Amino acid sequence: LIGMERTSKYILANTIILLPYSLMLYAFGMGIVYTIIAAIAGGLMLGYHYKLTKTPTSDFAWKAYKVTAPYLTIIFIGIALDAAFHFRF
């Protein structure tokens, strides 16, 4: 309805909004383990979504989805690992 190009830009904007919030948890007590995992997972997702804006095809959208889908699981694993190996600077 709104097209692949416009949709990919909305996806990128949503990711840009999401990432600072996931990293902000460090300020509220999460440790460095979580922060590193969140930064890597978020950076990977941001990279794919940026590439999606440059190549807005269904095939690449599917590849970007495969990166996005496990993001929340990776974040939860980061929280669990951080609880087990909590370390702050």
Residue 27's φ and ψ, nearest 5 degrees, are -65, -20
Q: Are 13 and 68 in contact (CB under 8 A)?
A: no
Say how far apart CA 86 and CA 53 lie, in whole Å: 37
Q: What's the pLDDT score for residue 17? A: 97
Q: What's the pLDDT score for residue 2? A: 87
CA-angle at 78, arms to 16 and 14, nearest 5°: 15
Question: Does the pTM of the predicted model rise above 0.85?
Answer: yes
DSSP 70-83: THHHHHHHHHHHHH
Q: What's the pLDDT score for residue 20? A: 96
Q: What's the pLDDT score for residue 86? A: 83
Say how far apart CA 32 and CA 53 lie, in whole Å: 31
Mean pLDDT by 10 residues, the chain (89 residues): 92 96 94 96 96 94 92 95 87
Q: What's the pLDDT score for residue 89? A: 73
